[in-house]
Amino acid sequence: MSTETPPHHDDWQRTRWRSELRRKLLDWFSVHARVLPWRSDPTPYHVWVSEIMLQQTQVATVLPYYQRWMESFPSVAELAAAEESELMRHWEGLGYYRRVRSMHAAAKKIMTDHDGRFPVDYDQVLALPGVGRYTAGAVLSISSDAKLPVLEGNTQRVYSRWIALRTSPTENAANKLLWELATRMLPRRGSGQFNQAAMELGALVCLPKQPKCDECPVKSHCRTAELQLQSEIPGKIKRIKYEDRTEFALILARQSRGTTQYLARPLPDGGRWAGLWDFPRCTDATTESVDAAAGWLSDQLGAKIAPGVRLQTLRHAVTKYRISLHVHQASFSAAAAATRRKPPEPWQWVSLDQIRTLPLSVTGRKIAKFLVDDPQPILPLE
């Protein structure tokens, strides 16, 4: 007889266990559910927008973005008809900008393929750009009470702890098991409520670190709590190993009809922050020094650029990099008069008033704020 500890507990296979847990969780949710705008009016469009925004983003961060979004784009039709730059401006600061471009493409597909009505068929929702199994299940279960499971960060952790799943939930076998559990847990009616309750439990009580087990309505059903394995379950998920990286932004300015303008460009497709605007910086290759960055910009503009004093340093993380961004003043050589007047596309001279209306990266917006708050170090070209 084997004495090896099982990789998970099978209580969830019993109908009574599932029924009791479900009832306790839904009773708790009826009292503790947060009031959220997409819950107050859970149309497919509202739930879809909220779920895309909430991917890798906290509710508190999303709320003001969601409110502004719905004021500007209250339906699929308004979203589909919007300019991409305007959508990016509304998304600025949420990160993972591919999400908003996928939403735009999905809205256009809904207009052409579904007469502007958000589809309620699972396969049709799954076929929308940027929509996977989790998002399709969340949208249809919450808006239409479709009997579809939801497995995302919170429910992945909650379900793993209920059955004391010792392996990482991202491993294929474990992930398959959790999807099966998520499906079996759904009630005959009210799947959307159950899915939201499970997600809410993970957001408010079953936290990644130091879960509030004493406040948990289903603690008596949780094998992880019984075994005191909260710090070990869910199993470790492979974390990003960040690499240090140095980048340089070069600020070029000129005077035009009494207004200071700065050189900027929309970032190209396929690269970091595609669709956003930025001040001159090289993001697709390593630049070891400010002189190398000036050389890159000289090649871009076809005119000699000389770096100047450092104005500030910004530190941030993007994908696998921890970046130190050194922001320097820069200037054209005396022979570059034509480029100063009209730089090659896509570069443009833009004023600070224009910059306020453009979608910028977080660091780009910080640079713009610096230029507004302390423009004196920037000596515009006459």
Active site residues: 51
Q: What would the two tokens of residue 238 be?
A: 């492979």
Amino acid present at 60 = A
Using CA of residue 257, residue 261, residue 263, residue 264, what is the dihedral sign?
negative
Ramachandran angles phi, psi of 343, nearest 5°: -70, 160
Print the SS3 string covering 54-120: HCCCCHHHHHHHHHHHHHHCCCHHHHHHCCHHHHHHHHCCCCCCHHHHHHHHHHHHHHHHCCCCCCC
| Residue 60, number of CB atoms within 10 A of its CB | 7
Give dist(CA 103, CA 106) in Å, integer: 5
Decide: 263 and 252 in contact? Cβ < 8 Å. yes
- Reported residue count of the chain is 382
Beta bridge partners of 246: 324
Give dist(CA 143, CA 136) in Å, integer: 11
- Relative to beta strand 243-251, strand 253-256 is unpaired
Q: What would the two tokens of residue 283 be?
A: 């993001």
Decide: 306 and 294 in contact? Cβ < 8 Å. yes
Please tell me the number of Cα atoms within 13 Å of 52 on its side-chain side. 25
Give Dmax over CA atoms of the chain in angstroms: 88
- Alpha-carbon separation of residue 298 from 34, 266, 302, 305, 332 (angstroms): 53, 18, 6, 5, 9
Give dist(CA 372, CA 183) in Å, integer: 53
Q: What would the two tokens of residue 305 be?
A: 């650029």
